[in-house]
């Protein structure tokens, strides 16, 4: 199996992924699995960090030499 260099998600898919991470983190914390909850929280933060748009940021097409 080969992985692509990037993954494209719709806004809905991205929201659902973040929501699932938040729910999983809460469930893990409730069951005393703090280490696993921290890993899920880290994944949530990664996703959230990639989703936040910065109007000053260079669009990906310009970075890759496109546009």
pLDDT at position 39: 97
Cα–Cα distance measured from residue 41 to residue 61, given in angstroms and rounded to the nearest whole number: 30
Place of tokens 């000053």: 56
Between 7 and 62, residue with greater pLDDT? 7
Q: What was the pLDDT predicted at 59?
A: 56
Give 28-52 pLDDT, tens digit per residue. 999 999 999 999 999 999 988 888 7
Rounded Cα distance, 9 and 6, in Å:
10
């Amino acid at each position: 199996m080969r992985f692509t260099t990037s993954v494209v998600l719709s806004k809905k898919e991205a929201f659902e992924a973040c929501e699932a991470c938040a729910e999983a983190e809460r469930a893990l914390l409730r069951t005393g699995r703090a280490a696993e909850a921290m890993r899920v929280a880290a994944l949530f933060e990664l996703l959230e960090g990639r989703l936040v748009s910065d109007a000053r940021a260079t669009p990906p097409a310009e970075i890759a030499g496109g546009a």
